Amino acid sequence: MFTIQFDETLLSNIEQKFEEFPEEAHRGFALAINRVSNMAKTRMIRNATKTYTVKYGELLKNLTVRKAFPHQLIGQIHSRGNYLGLDNFQLNPSTRQGRTSVTAAVKSGSAFSLNDNTFIAYRDGRWAFGSI
């Protein structure tokens, strides 16, 4: 969890500007919170893809942003979902040809060889490496 700190002089300047239209202040704050939450979500995914070889879209599926509204100035980022299998990371070759050994890289720059009997099963019944 992280906190955001504001400069009090900056906040007083903002309050003075919104004195004429106080109802618009809440709307402006909600828009600012939503923009910051979306930017934070993007930055989190980019940092994860720098370290790990996971696909961008797989991380994007699991992150949801709850938006802030003028009457509720709270924005949240949630990460929910199942564990990511090896098929979501870098596999070489992606489909097994014969008895070729397969290497997987979960972290950037650190690949490891998989056992000859390894297979990855998808939920719809197919395998990542064909029939073994």
Q: Residue 92 domain-assigned?
A: yes
Q: What is the total count of domains within the chain?
A: 2
Question: In this structure, how many other beta carbons lie within 10 angstroms of the beta carbon of residue 33?
Answer: 18
When pLDDT is averaged across residues 122-130 and rounded to a whole number, the result is 58
Closest by CA to 54, choosing from 77, 85, 78, 79, is 85
15 is a domain residue: yes
Residues 40 and 65 in one domain: yes
Query: Phi/psi zone of residue 6: left (φ > 0), alpha (ψ -120 to 50 degrees), beta?
Result: beta
HSE, side-chain direction, 13 A CA sphere, residue 25 = 12
128 part of a folded domain: yes
Report the pLDDT averaged over residues 55-60: 84
Provide the 3-class DSSP secondary structure of residue 68.
coil
On whether both 75 and 12 belong to a single domain, the answer is: yes
What single DSSP character describes residue 87? G
- Quote the pLDDT of residue 132: 45
Residues 54 and 115 in one domain: no
- Per-residue confidence (pLDDT) for residue 50, from 0 to 100: 86
Same domain, 14 and 57: yes
For 65-120, the pLDDT digits (tens) are: 999 998 888 889 988 877 777 777 776 666 556 666 666 777 777 766 666 666 55
In a shared domain, residues 128 and 93? yes
Flag whether 32 is in a domain. Answer: yes
Domain housing 113? 85-132
What pLDDT does 66 receive? 93
In a domain, 34, yes or no: yes
Spatial distance between the Cα atoms of 121 and 127, rounded to a whole number of angstroms: 4
Percent of the chain with pLDDT over 90: 12
Nearest partner of 68 among 98, 100, 30, 110, judged by Cα: 30
Question: Which two tokens mark 89?
Answer: 């990371």
19 occurs within a structural domain? yes
| 112: in domain | yes
- Answer yes or no: do 113 and 89 share one domain: yes
